[in-house]
Amino acid sequence: MFAWRSKIEAFPKSHAGMEAVGKIIFMSMALSRENYLLHKLHSLSGVVPVGFYMIQHLTLNSFTIAGPDRFNGVIGFFESLPKHILLTLEIVAIWVPLLFHAVYGTYIASRAKSNYFSEKYRWSQNRMFFLQRLSGIVAFMFLVYHIITTTGAKYANGVKAVEYAAFQEKFTSNGYIFLVLYFIGVLACSYHLCYGIWNFCIRWGITVNEKAQMNVQKLSGALFVAVTLLGWAALIGFLIHPKGGTGDVHSVQAGQPLTASLQR
Ligand code: HEM
């Protein structure tokens, strides 16, 4: 465990030499260890803003249940915001935190050893830990694809790429393969967020004893079911309203309250 000590002891016992070796060993240890502050920031960024964004995003997407015009009304509201404000919001509140969370999360996952598959350690906590890493990888792949084909396509080809009709067409063609991928993507994102909330409470010292941790675990389980159903409801909405709707997303005026566009 203290291999660095033996390295220092083996070095000529001059003061300057000891100090130099100590510094080099300390720096290499610091670089190879997870950083305490970065790990805390990673945990925070998963809940706020990324988790918060996901819940509001799925809530607004579930307007598909109320019909194409309601869904397009939401898209139209965001389109009506001044372009520079929308882009700044996207970069600061979504893309940068999401990228940081994904990159640092990959680093943490690459260091973790999952022992669930060893006969001795098949505990539910270990299974949850393994699933959290797995769901993180699936969620990441889903989100890369999702953001490129929604926001990316919108900036490249215009808003039609993210209107109700475009999603409806994608989900009902090619043997429903994209619909299935979305069901899985939503499930992975939801599990990752809800188990992440349980982790967050421990890391930030909110749940310190076992009883509190068990209670939050139950709460996370319930939240997982609710968030998954919310996301799946958005997808089912595309199946129960097969027509693309009559709404023109550009008819929503800048500064008009969201409720006004949705009440039309
Ligand atoms: C339930 C199915 C989903 C639908 C129908 C959907 C729909 C959309 C749409 C229409 C956009 C483009 C918004 C715009 O640029 O105007 C978008 C972007 C995005 N979605 Fe989803 N989404 C779904 C699931 C998810 C999930 C589970 C997540 C997980 C966090 C997610 C995260 C994002 C992110 C990060 C963006 C980029 C936001 C931006 O750059 O403005 N989406 N989605």
Expressed in angstroms and rounded, the spacing between residue 232 Cα and the centre of ligand 1 is: 13
Give the position, in ligand 1's atom list, of the atom nearest the Cα of 238: 5
Whose CA is closest to atom 7 on ligand 1? 61
pLDDT attached to residue 64: 97
CB 138 within 8 A of CB 185: yes
Give the position, in ligand 1's atom list, of the atom nearest the Cα of 159: 16
Whose CA is closest to atom 30 on ligand 1? 54
Q: Residues spanned by CATH 1.20.1300.10 within the chain?
A: 48-262
| Structural tokens at position 9 | 């002891």
Q: What is the pTM of this model?
A: 0.84
Whose CA is closest to atom 37 on ligand 1? 147
User: CA-CA distance, 183 to 165, in Å (whole number)?
Assistant: 19
Give the position, in ligand 1's atom list, of the atom nearest the Cα of 139: 29
Stretches in the chain below the pLDDT threshold 70: 1-34, 114-122, 244-264
Q: Does the beta carbon of 229 sit less than 6 angstroms from any atom of ligand 1?
A: no
User: CA-CA distance, 201 to 223, in Å (whole number)?
Assistant: 14
Whose CA is closest to atom 34 on ligand 1? 147
**Which class is 48-262 in CATH?**
mainly alpha
| Structural tokens at position 164 | 């109700």
pLDDT attached to residue 260: 46
Q: Tell me the torsion sign for CA atoms 172, 174, 176, 179.
A: negative
Give the position, in ligand 1's atom list, of the atom nearest the Cα of 58: 1
| Structural tokens at position 254 | 């800048």
